[in-house]
């Protein structure tokens, strides 16, 4: 009988201790399964987005400057000045388009969006 009581006591103690340990182990496993944001992929993605924005901003700056010059020349009453301004404007547009296209192709294809990263960390 004594052996039965001691076995019962020991099994009760073990089962109670397992009840408190199992949830703690389960929560550790779920924390391990969660993967973090890939910082290298995030840096590549953000650098690509920043570079492409800079290229487009430079393109817009050149186009805006060419438009201002063209509009100022159109105010002139001299036909030859207007024709020269139009030719210069069209040349500036073509040059800006070619420069932008070359810069974007040199930049390469966009890297994939990193998974498991917060939207606030991504430059879009």
Does residue 47 sit in the same domain as residue 12? Answer: no
Q: State the SS3 of the chain.
A: CHHHHHHHHHHHHHHHHHHHHHHHHHHHHHHHHCCCCCHHHHHHHHHHHHHHHHHHHHHHHHHHHHHHHHHHHHCCCCHHHHHHHHHHHHHHHHHHHHHHHHHHHHHCCCCCCCCCCCHHHCCC
Q: By residue range, what is the domain housing residue 56?
A: 38-124
* 105 shares a domain with 67: yes
Other beta carbons less than 10 A from residue 66's beta carbon: 19
26 and 74, same domain (yes or no): no
pLDDT tens by residue, 41-91: 999 999 999 999 999 999 999 999 999 999 999 998 899 999 999 999 999
Question: Is residue 9 over pLDDT 60?
Answer: no
Note whether 98 and 79 are same-domain residues.
yes
Q: Under 8 Å CB-to-CB from 103, ≥6 apart: which residues? A: 55, 58
- In terms of pTM, does the model score above 0.85? no
């Amino acid at each position: 009988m004594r052996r039965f009581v001691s076995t019962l006591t020991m099994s009760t103690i073990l089962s109670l201790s397992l009840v408190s340990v199992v949830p703690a182990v389960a929560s550790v496993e779920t924390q391990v399964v969660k993967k973090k944001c890939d910082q290298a992929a995030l840096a590549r993605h953000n650098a690509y987005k920043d570079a492409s924005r800079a290229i487009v901003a430079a393109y817009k700056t050149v186009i805006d400057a060419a438009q201002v010059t063209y509009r100022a020349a159109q105010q002139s009453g001299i036909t030859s000045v207007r024709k020269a301004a139009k030719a210069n404007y069209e040349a500036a547009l073509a040059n800006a388009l070619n420069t932008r296209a070359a810069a974007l192709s040199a930049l390469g294809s966009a890297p994939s969006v990193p998974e498991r990263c917060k939207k606030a960390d991504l430059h879009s």
